[in-house]
Chain A
Amino acid sequence: MGRTLRRGRLGAFAVSAAAAVVCVYLLVPSVAVLPLSVTATNFVVFPPHGFSTGWYQALFTSQVWRNALISSFSVASLTTLVATPVGTMMALGLANFHGWLARASNFIVLLPIIVPTIVTAVALYSALAPLGLVGTIPGLALAHTVLALPFVVINVSAVLAKLDPRMVQAARSLGARPLAAFRLVTLPNLLPGVAAGALFAFLTSFDDFVVALFLAGVGAVTLPVQMWSGIRFEISPVVAAASTVLLATSCLLLALQRLVRGR
């Protein structure tokens, strides 16, 4: 008995140690970019030699990188502005679908997540190229709206499912017209879901690389696309600085999202 107990404890320790090692493995590439970006050398090296903020200066003064930052923010903002209201309305409508119609529509709404991004990218490229939308900010934002829409619907639907239908019924029975009941009861309760959906939409667009690779052309080069050419043609610490900015933005938005959900 004593021996099995000891062996059991040893097993538990082994599991914990393995889990810790894997957690470090998960973290390493995210954490490593920060030191990479402050090296004083003009090549990337880990651990960095010296300390310099010069690569951030280079990032923010270079026309190419500045344009990429502006494109990323423009496309992501435009995507959020379109996907959030459209997705919210969709979630509200889908909540009233039942049976096979609900199952079929839910599957179709989830499809952009299921289908490999490269396939979506190729399809969008051949659809938008004849319309002259490749290489434009609105074109890329339209494409990102497709990727972002499911996340808005999922977030709003999750909040909607938790909403007590008796609250709306109570408002109605107290004499509120359907629209008033929606505006005064449903909408305020829905706001955290809508906000979370909007942040997800922004992040989905901001983070996308594969669709942008096909649709960016020369007129809508986003930060990830610029990083891609940076990585492929000259591994400069500027790429690490750009990575850090990208990562910091994502972290900020996710923290914001937690704050919204926590309330």
Chain B
Amino acid sequence: MTDVAAGSLRRRRSRSRRTAFLLVLPGAAVLAALFLLPIAQLIAGSFSDHAGALVHYRRILAVPVYLLVLGRTVVISAITAAICLVLGFPVAYRLVHAGPRGKAAILLCVFLSFWTNLLIRAFSWMVLLNPNGIVSHLFGAMGMPGGSVKLVYNLTGVLIGQTQILLPYMILPLAAVMSRLDDAYVKAARSLGASPFRAFTAVYLPLVRTGTLAGCVLVFTLSLGSFVVPALLGGPRDMFLAQLIEFNINQTLNLGFASALSTVLLATTLLLYWIGDHWFGLGQVWGGR
């Protein structure tokens, strides 16, 4: 290549890079002014108090109720992820191995649910699960002690609502991994004499492990930040971290403490995102609310 041609190419490249920067500029400005800067201020605000930099964080660690809320949020989220895995696995499997019509039907269920506003779904569950609701009556009719079991405004209600809302986030990454899988491995195991159960546990499960873990990390993380379901379907004992944040802003007007709680939630989420992305390729599937 002649020097003149190389020079012109370089010029053109630097011009296209300048255009690229100009195109990105408005979006970058929006994100910087309305997202990155406010978040930075929130973090800074959580450390600045006239009584000392760490006063809010000390309070989180010192007051048992706050630790209890944090612990509950983590434990309920972990249980939710486990239930989602158990319930989501067969759906993802059917989705991948179904014909075009079955696939469309399953995807319709998943996406209709996914795009129904959280409040609508929580409201529906409140009505369906209430002591005089249809679920209790069905339990009663089947001879189960439905009347005596409380299904809502307690842990059961939170788990039913939370699992239903987060299931799509388990089903989709699982199905993505399953569809990339080569069926030949399982067939080989079967032809070598493995029982269906053994072929499943010894060959299939290890092959879909990344998708399983990706789904679990995603569901767990999304659950940590949830607000609507615990607020509407839980009892006073099932308070989540997000409710504590909302309470400190709208009720006690303690913005500094709310910022510290938010920073804890943010740091945990980013750490989990990094783990999920680094080890299970979660960056591809992360999305939604």
Closest to B35 in A: A146
Q: Tell me how far the C-beta of B220 lies from the nearest C-beta in chain A, rounded to whole angstroms.
A: 12
Cβ of B101 < 8 Å from any Cβ of A?
no
Chain B 117-148 residues near chain A, CB threshold 8 A: 117-128, 132-134
- Asked whether A149 lies within 8 Å of B31 as measured between CB atoms, the reply is yes
**Cα distance, A250 to B114, chains bound together (Å):** 11
- Point out the residue from A33, A46, A93, A116 that lies within 8 Å of B224, measured CB to CB: A116
Mark each residue of chain A from 223 to 236: 1 if its CB lies under 8 Å from any CB of chain B, else 0.
01001100110010
Binds A, one of B151-159, B176-184, B261-269: B261-269
A-B contact pairs, 21 of them (CB 8 A): A7-B195, A11-B196, A15-B94, A22-B88, A25-B167, A26-B164, A26-B168, A27-B113, A29-B116, A29-B120, A87-B27, A93-B25, A114-B273, A117-B289, A119-B269, A122-B258, A122-B259, A123-B42, A125-B249, A145-B34, A153-B27
**Contacting residues, chain A, for B119 (C-beta < 8 A):** 209, 224, 227-228, 231, 243
- Asked whether A105 lies within 8 Å of B24 as measured between CB atoms, the reply is yes
- Asked whether A146 lies within 8 Å of B120 as measured between CB atoms, the reply is no
In the complex with contacts A214-B249, A243-B117, A116-B24 CB distance below 8 A: no
Closest to A152 in B: B27
**Cα distance, A23 to B127, chains bound together (Å):** 20
Cβ of A97 < 8 Å from any Cβ of B?
yes
In the complex with contacts A119-B266, A145-B34, A22-B87 CB distance below 8 A: yes
9 closest A-B pairs by CB: A116-B225, A93-B23, A90-B27, A29-B124, A93-B24, A96-B20, A123-B38, A127-B38, A19-B94
Cβ of B30 < 8 Å from any Cβ of A?
yes
Cβ of B93 < 8 Å from any Cβ of A?
yes
Q: How large is the interface on A (under 10, 10 to 19, 20 to 34, 35 or more residues)?
A: 35 or more
Q: How large is the interface on B (under 10, 10 to 19, 20 to 34, 35 or more residues)?
A: 35 or more
Cβ of A180 < 8 Å from any Cβ of B?
no
- Asked whether A116 lies within 8 Å of B265 as measured between CB atoms, the reply is yes
Q: Tell me how far the C-beta of B234 lies from the nearest C-beta in chain A, rounded to whole angstroms.
A: 13
**Contacting residues, chain A, for B41 (C-beta < 8 A):** 123, 126-127
Cβ of A4 < 8 Å from any Cβ of B?
yes
- Asked whether A116 lies within 8 Å of B88 as measured between CB atoms, the reply is no
In the complex with contacts A46-B128, A92-B23, A119-B42, A23-B109 CB distance below 8 A: yes
Chain B 230-258 residues near chain A, CB threshold 8 A: 232, 242, 245-246, 249-250, 255, 258
- Point out the residue from A30, A111, A239 that lies within 8 Å of B113, measured CB to CB: A30
Cβ of B286 < 8 Å from any Cβ of A?
yes
**Cα distance, A118 to B245, chains bound together (Å):** 8
**Contacting residues, chain B, for A11 (C-beta < 8 A):** 196-197, 200
Mark each residue of chain B from 93 to 107: 1 if its CB lies under 8 Å from any CB of chain A, else 0.
111000000000110
Closest to B13 in A: A96
- Asked whether A29 lies within 8 Å of B164 as measured between CB atoms, the reply is yes
- Point out the residue from A29, A90, A214, A227 that lies within 8 Å of B128, measured CB to CB: A29
In the complex with contacts A11-B196, A23-B109, A143-B34, A126-B123 CB distance below 8 A: no
**Contacting residues, chain B, for A22 (C-beta < 8 A):** 87-88, 90-91, 167
Mark each residue of chain B from 268 to 287: 1 if its CB lies under 8 Å from any CB of chain A, else 0.
01100100000000010011
- Asked whether B133 lies within 8 Å of A46 as measured between CB atoms, the reply is yes
Cβ of A18 < 8 Å from any Cβ of B?
yes
**Cα distance, A10 to B85, chains bound together (Å):** 21
- Asked whether A247 lies within 8 Å of B117 as measured between CB atoms, the reply is yes
- Asked whether B125 lies within 8 Å of A29 as measured between CB atoms, the reply is yes
Chain A 1-41 residues near chain B, CB threshold 8 A: 4, 7-8, 11, 15-16, 18-19, 22-23, 25-30, 32-33, 36
**Cα distance, A65 to B39, chains bound together (Å):** 33
Mark each residue of chain B from 33 to 67: 1 if its CB lies under 8 Å from any CB of chain A, else 0.
01111110110010000000000000000000000
**Contacting residues, chain B, for A81 (C-beta < 8 A):** none
